[in-house]
Structure formats: structure tokens, C-alpha cells
Amino acid sequence: MNEQIRKKILVVEDEPAIGRMCEKVLAREGLEVGIAVNGRVAQDMVKKGQYQCCLIDIMVPEAGGMELYGWLQQQYPNLARGVVFTTGSLLDEKVMAFIKQSSRLFLPKPFTPGELRAAVMEALKRLGE
């Protein structure tokens, strides 16, 4: 990425295999990837790092995706604009209503590496990064 500062993305995912896949795919795109296994760890990482984008699984433990997003909106509104939500709970009406209301990108599980790459690149593009 030459003279550009590497963009950082935070992946909030409690399933290790999915977290590793995200890290591998996004690192190939030149992104620096941090992984948080729950919402509380994610909050600590956001406080310490300069992330441009977050991939958040709605169903992570300890400050789930909805709570984490609300916190980001209050504390880090620019980062909240770069959120991409993921979930396998497509039948949960509350989850789907939340995602629709948030107006953020959404990546249903299971997703392919190509779908992941496209969603994150779109989120960064929308931020003007």
C-alpha cells in the first residue's frame, strides 16, 4: 500500500474459524485486522486503536452487536458509519428490524470470502477512505 497508512478493520466475531477467515481475506486486501471475541473486548480495542471499519457479528457475547453499535454511535460516530453487520439469525425479526433501521451494510452468514471483501470495501468507499 505504498505511502498510504494501512487501514485498520476490527472484526467482532466469537467463532474462531470465521474470525481467522476474515483476517486472512482482509489482510490480503492490505488491511490491518484486529479481532475481538466479544463486545467488551471490541470496546477496549476501539479505545486503543484507530479503526476505519468494523465487521460486527450481531450475536457476540458481552455487549452484543446492537449494544456495541449504540456505544460506537455515541463515542465514535465516524467509526459507527463504517460498520458492517453479520449474523446467521435471519429469522429473528428484532435483529432484522435493527439492521434495517441502522442503514448499515449487512452480510448474512454464511458468507464467502468474495462477499466479505466486497462488503468491507464498500463500507470503506462510503466513508471516502
**Could you tell me if residue 32 is inside a domain?**
yes
**Could you tell me if residue 51 is inside a domain?**
yes
**Could you tell me if residue 3 is inside a domain?**
no
Spacing of C-alpha 29 from chain mean position? 15
> Which domain range does residue 70 map to?
8-126
**Could you tell me if residue 53 is inside a domain?**
yes
Block residue for cell numbers 490491518: 32
What is the CATH number for 81?
A: 3.40.50.2300
Name the band, by pLDDT with cuts 50, 70 and 90, for residue 1.
very low
**What pLDDT is stored for residue 89 in this prediction?**
81
**Could you tell me if residue 2 is inside a domain?**
no
52-96 pLDDT tens trace: 999 999 999 999 999 999 999 999 999 999 999 999 887 889 998
Question: What is the rounded (10 degree) CA torsion for 123, 40, 111, 33?
Answer: 60
Count of domains forming the chain: 1
